């Protein structure tokens, strides 16, 4: 043991390191978020933050829960697979509070043209019209029911 007799300064120095390590652990505990490293090198709770974003498009199942008449009108037509909010816009507010939030009826002159204006860039089989030749300014819904657009399938509602 004689060789250790003057080793006190080493232990004091080592003590400093241990103290610094403890301070590091305490600081780390307060600085690093609790969920950091839960799934990887990131804050696990961030996933929950993203998932907490409010929903604005209610989804067609929600619409169909009440508007069964429209579902029936659509089901055999060309628009059977066009979801409600593709045309009517985001309506989760309406679904949450149908009494006070009334959706605005879309303007067919703008709405129909978005998809059906003729363009060489569109897939060839997709129904397209040059509106000035096709209807000469008559609103689309005069002849077509937007929920089932083929004219022989019912025409104007």
Partner 1 sequence: MNVSRRQMLILLPAAAVAWKSVLAGTPEDSPNYRMSDHWWGMLIDISKCIGCGNCVRACQTENEVPDGHFRTWVERYHVTDENMVSPQVISPDGGKEGFPAAAEDAGKYFFVPKLCNQCAESPCTQVCPVGATFVTPDGVVMVDQKYCLGCAYCVQACPYGCRYIHPEKHVADKCTLCYHRITKGLTTACCETCPTGARQLVDLKNPKDPIHEFLKTHSVQVLKPQMATGAKVYYNDLDGSVR
Q: Which residues bind partner 1 (CB under 8 A)?
A: 15, 18, 21-22, 25-26, 29, 33-36, 38-57, 59-60, 79, 81-83, 85-87, 89-90, 114-115, 117, 119-123, 126
For partner 1, the closer CB: 38 or 107? 38
Least gap, CB of 107 to partner 1 (angstroms): 14
Least gap, CB of 131 to partner 1 (angstroms): 13
Which residues 6+ apart lie within 8 Å of 111 measured at CB? Answer: 87, 146
For partner 1, the closer CB: 105 or 122? 122
Residue 98 CA to residue 35 CA, distance in Å, equals: 39
In Å, what is the CA distance from 151 to each residue of 51, 62, 122, 123? Answer: 44, 28, 23, 22
Least gap, CB of 61 to partner 1 (angstroms): 8
For partner 1, the closer CB: 46 or 66? 46
Say how many C-beta atoms besides its own lie within 10 A of residue 140's C-beta.
Answer: 20
For partner 1, the closer CB: 50 or 99? 50
Per-position DSSP letters for 48-108, written without gaps between them: HHHHTSPP-S--HHHHHHH-HHHHHHHHTSTTTTS-HHHHH---HHHHH-TTT--PPPP-H
Least gap, CB of 100 to partner 1 (angstroms): 20
For partner 1, the closer CB: 21 or 76? 21
Least gap, CB of 115 to partner 1 (angstroms): 5
29 near 22, Cβ under 8 Å? no
């Amino acid at each position: 043991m004689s060789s250790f007799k003057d080793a006190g300064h080493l232990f004091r120095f080592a003590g400093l390191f241990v103290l610094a390590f403890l301070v590091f652990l305490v600081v780390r505990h307060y600085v690093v978020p609790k969920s950091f490293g839960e799934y990887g090198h990131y804050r696990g709770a961030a996933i929950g933050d993203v998932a907490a974003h409010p929903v604005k498009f209610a989804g067609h199942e929600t619409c169909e829960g009440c508007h069964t008449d429209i579902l029936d009108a659509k089901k055999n037509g060309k628009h059977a697979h066009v979801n409600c909010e593709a045309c009517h816009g985001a309506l989760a507010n309406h679904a949450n509070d149908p009494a006070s939030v009334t959706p605005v009826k879309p303007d067919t002159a703008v709405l129909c043209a978005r998809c059906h204006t003729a363009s060489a860039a569109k897939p060839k089989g997709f129904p397209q019209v040059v509106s000035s030749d096709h209807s000469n300014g008559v609103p689309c819904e005069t002849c077509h029911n937007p929920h089932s657009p083929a004219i022989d399938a019912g025409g104007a509602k």
